[in-house]
Structure 1
Amino acid sequence: MIYPHRMKAELEGDFVLFLIGMRINKPLQVHRWLPVARAMPRMLTELYTQPELGLLHADAWFGRTIIMVQYWRSLEQLHAYARSKERQHLPAWRAFQQASDGNTAVGIWHESYQITAGSHSNVYVNMPLFGLGKASGDFMPVKNK
């Protein structure tokens, strides 16, 4: 559904905006970057099937640099997931570190931002539920002043 009016999204309480991605530096070395690319779908499946882990929503864009925007309930949950020996992330991280030692075929990066309640703004026009709207589950009309 496309929302044709000026809309906004609100998420109650604090949350985390997490940007994560990879850059394919040497496209012909598929054997180097494909295992890295395959790790994220496993993690997302785990996170979406276990919402108590804290992921609210994720969107991805693909090209030579792949970027994923994720919304998390808390920085503590994000860090707990990243460090857990029982979850998909830590083995993938260790495999990347081992495989990337001495080669630059693929790079990875991430940035985390703690957002406090009321300290953000957003606007959506002619859009389906997207971004923070997807994370919160709804858009609401922006009231004209």
Structure 2
Amino acid sequence: MSTAKYTGECLCGGVRFTVLNEPKAVLSCHCEHCRKGAGGIGQVFGVFSKDDDLNLKPGSEDNISTYVFTKTTSGKPKDKTFCKSCGVPLWTVTDDVRQKGQIILRTALLDKGSELKPKAAIFTTGRPSWAGSMEGVPDFETMP
């Protein structure tokens, strides 16, 4: 069995998981959904393979709920999962990542997740002007 690269959990610990591999990409997003979902200026997330990378701990599935956003920039619905107990956003599944068997997982949930530096910042038109760009990280007004 593979050793986990990361362990993670929601705020209350009701949803716990391991991630077996490094993310395929790490991005900082400032779209409306990420800003409102985080209650801040945006979110940093990693793209992982849902089946190959993410392993939920026993009992976690019972604490997961999904909200489907239909008003999206792509025009296609996307699923946002969250913990039923503490409300923490867990991961997102857009139409594009669903077709690839992937998920968009919040890096803040991972131990050492703050060490995962974004390779790009997306939907930067939603980022406050006082927040500014990250050094060495390209900005994109939409999804590149």
| TM-score using structure 2 length | 0.28
Q: Which has the higher contact order (CA 8 A, sep 6+)?
A: 1
| TM-score using structure 1 length | 0.28
Higher percent of residues as strand: 2
Larger-Rg structure: 1
